[in-house]
Amino acid sequence: MALLQIALGLLVTWAVWAVIRKSQHRSPLDNVPGPTAASWFVGDLERFYGRHGWPFQKELLSSYGPVVKFSAFFGSPMLYVYDPKALHHIVVKDQYIYEETSIFIEWVFRSVVPLTVFLTDGCLLNSFNSLAFGDSLLSSLGERHRRQRKILNPVFNTNHMRYMVPTFYRITNQLRKALSNEVKDGQHEIDMLSWMTRAALELVGQGGLGYSFDPLDRDWKNPFAEDLKALVPTMSPYFFWMRFLPLVSWIGTAAFQRRVLEMLPLPSLQRTIQIIDTMENKSKEILAQKRALLSQGDMALEQQVGEGKDIMSVLLRENMQASGDEKMSDTELLGHMTALIFAAMDTTSGALAHILQVLSEHPDAQEKLRQEIKTARGDQEYIEYDELMNLPYLEAVCRETLRLYSPTTVMTRVTTKDVLMPLSTPLRGRDGTMMNELVVPEGTGIVIGILAYNIDPAIWGPDAHLWKPERWLEPLPGTVTNAHAPGIYSNLMTFLGGGRACIGFKFAQLEMKAVLSVLLEHFKFSPSDKEVYWNWAGIQFPTIGKESTETKMPLRVELVH
């Protein structure tokens, strides 16, 4: 209790200090335009980061330029950025200045970084990733992140993806058989998000871990898949409070903190703990199985799911040969497994659900894509990797949906020192001055506008807000190519760029295209009469109506005749 009182005292002291500091200190960002803060305490954080945050973000896009200032705690400034040159500096050139978070101890002993650093979404993201996935690529920073990425990069290359094609088609055809049974008597309304979640989980299970999570042989609620899909909606009520974790993370041991959380009478918090435990225990189970098989030699692995070609089998073999800094600990391996399961399942299943939904709303595009797939497959068992990756209309549909409906809409960084942020387009300040660059102070929260860049009319043209796959079948306008987006995928920011770009984007592409190439050849999708609402909580997720928190996306499905 005394420790909690000390923490509360520190928080109150800091709050008073922050108010005094704010009243006496002028920021170099005072001239950057932006809305009036909604609250003196939390600023605009709730209306920006809440799951109903899109209207406010859309207001920022329509009312201000590609760099907008909004307020965090006690009016501390944050920048919402989608200017191309600024993004290049944030995610590539100066990426080690724009980090995901800082460390509480540094503030305590150096009194350099304002505590508002820890209350920005950068801290939230790192806190969420650390809590949910442990020591993984998603939660590591700086040199540790670079080391982990260097070790993991080889298992995500194109040559390795080719090995996975037969496995992916075998899984997807099992999905096809199960869906065919559901609609054998005619059109039926089906929750396609549930099926896409289960399929994506099985794809990452067999292709990523050499493990089967789901036979995909009937319509049932896979408990593990349900847990994974529920993680973000269940945790979202606590995202605001997670910003305060650095204030109390030093109190007691991890076991003590765990006991305190378990005592809190909050059902959704207890559900969150249960989901995280389930993910960790499953990763431990899989790792133990893989180790046992590896000890029996390659022959034993080749007879199992994935045939020893899955990402984790390759990684474990390489890790056994590694030494020194190149060797990963069990904690890291478990963290990477948990992160891979969640990241490859959640974002990919959401993207697939969005593609099927938008195709159901554009039947002509759906039929055009169906004919392209049928022609490409011909009398083959399946479409080979290189041809699948290069089907022009399939690629156009995937690119356009990932452009307009990016699964992750924003990412956040925090400046670790004062930095000059150059701009592609001069920004008119509050006093009318035109600014070609901004001095961004240490400790400033920077929101990378992933979706904002993808739909910016100044780059993509006046039809930027329309779903138009044909734009990818002709040369892109000069405004797109000359913007030099720092993203790693198709002039878009969807998979980010630089050292923290999505390491598994090729895996995700293969997942999506394998599933679409099988389903669209055999099924026709039409919209449901239920309202599907896409929520914003770091990762987009659909619900029936605005108030529900249960993830669902129904479509009417029937066999193609």
Q: Which residues of 43-58 are buried (b: 16+ CB within 10 A; e: fewer)?
A: bbbbbbbbbebeebbe
Which two tokens mark 229? 């899909």
Judge whether residue 4 has pLDDT over 60: no
**Residue 10 contacts by C-beta under 8 Å, 6 or more apart in sequence?**
247
Percent of the chain at pLDDT > 90 equals 55
Among residues 271, 281, 176, the alpha carbon closest in space to that of 233 is found at: 271
Burial class (CB in 10 A: 0-12, 13-18, 19+), 36: exposed
Judge whether residue 403 has pLDDT over 80: yes
Contact 175, 218 (CB under 8 A): no
| Whole-prediction pTM | 0.87
Compute the distance between CA of residue 559 and CA of residue 538 in angstroms, rounded to an integer: 35
Tens-place pLDDT, residues 459-499? 999 999 999 999 999 999 999 999 999 999 999 999 999 98
Compute the distance between CA of residue 306 and CA of residue 302 in angstroms, rounded to an integer: 7
Q: How do beta strands 410-415 and 445-449 pair? A: antiparallel
Judge whether residue 155 has pLDDT over 50: yes
Compute the distance between CA of residue 450 and CA of residue 416 in angstroms, rounded to an integer: 21
Q: Calculate mean pLDDT across residues 134-158.
A: 73
Q: What does the pLDDT read at residue 22?
A: 53
Place of tokens 């950025």: 81
Q: Calculate mean pLDDT across residues 73-84.
A: 94
Q: What does the pLDDT read at residue 461?
A: 96
Question: DSSP characters for 73-86?
Answer: GGG-EEEEE--HHH
Compute the distance between CA of residue 471 and CA of residue 465 in angstroms, rounded to an integer: 12
Q: Binding site for heme: residue ranges?
A: 502
Q: Calculate mean pLDDT across residues 49-55.
A: 89
pLDDT bin (cut points 50, 70, 90) of residue 378 is: very high
Question: DSSP characters for 512-556?
Answer: HHHHHHHHHHHEEEEE-SSPEEEE-SSB-EEEESSS--SB--EEE
Contact 487, 495 (CB under 8 A): yes
Compute the distance between CA of residue 198 and CA of residue 413 in angstroms, rounded to an integer: 32
CA distances for 540 relative to 30, 233, 235, 240, 405, angstroms = 32, 10, 14, 17, 9
User: Half-sphere exposure of 296 toward its Cβ, with a 13 Å CA cutoff?
Assistant: 13
Domains of the chain, earliest start first: 1-111+136-146+408-481 (3.30.43.20), 149-180+192-404+502-524 (1.10.630.10)
Mean pLDDT of the chain: 85
Percent of the chain at pLDDT > 70 equals 84
- Our separate counts of H helices and E strands in the chain read 24, 12
Q: Calculate mean pLDDT across residues 286-303.
A: 80
DSSP reduced 3-state for 423: strand
Q: Calculate mean pLDDT across residues 134-138.
A: 62
Compute the distance between CA of residue 553 and CA of residue 533 in angstroms, rounded to an integer: 9
Which two tokens mark 16? 């008073």
Q: What does the pLDDT read at residue 249?
A: 63
Sign of CA dihedral 290, 296, 301, 305: negative
Compute the distance between CA of residue 317 and CA of residue 398 in angstroms, rounded to an integer: 34
Judge whether residue 243 has pLDDT over 80: no
Which stretches of 135-198 are assigned E, i.e. beta strand?
Answer: 188-191
Picking from 73-77, 171-175, 434-438, 457-461, which range would have the lowest pLDDT averaged per residue?
A: 73-77
DSSP reduced 3-state for 367: helix
Which two tokens mark 497? 């760029």
Q: What does the pLDDT read at residue 115?
A: 37
Picking from 63-72, 205-214, 239-248, 389-398, which range would have the lowest pLDDT averaged per residue?
A: 239-248
Compute the distance between CA of residue 179 and CA of residue 487 in angstroms, rounded to an integer: 36
Question: DSSP characters for 446-487?
Answer: EEEEHHHHHT-HHHH-TTTTS--GGGGGSPPPHHHHTT----
Question: DSSP characters for 231-296?
Answer: HHHHHGGGHHHHTTHHHHTTSS-HHHHHHHHHHS--HHHHHHHHHHHHHHHHHHHHHHHHHHHHHT
Question: Which has more confidence, 83 or 148?
Answer: 83
Contact 497, 486 (CB under 8 A): yes
pLDDT bin (cut points 50, 70, 90) of residue 103 is: very low
Among residues 545, 561, 554, the alpha carbon closest in space to that of 526 is found at: 554
Contact 189, 220 (CB under 8 A): no
Q: Pick from 40-54, 107-121, 389-403 the range whose average pLDDT is largest.
A: 389-403
H-type helices in 415-465, by residue range?
A: 450-454, 457-460
Q: Binding site: residue ranges?
A: 502
Judge whether residue 382 has pLDDT over 80: yes
Q: Is 488 left (phi over 0), alpha (psi -120 to 50) or beta?
A: alpha
Contact 430, 15 (CB under 8 A): no
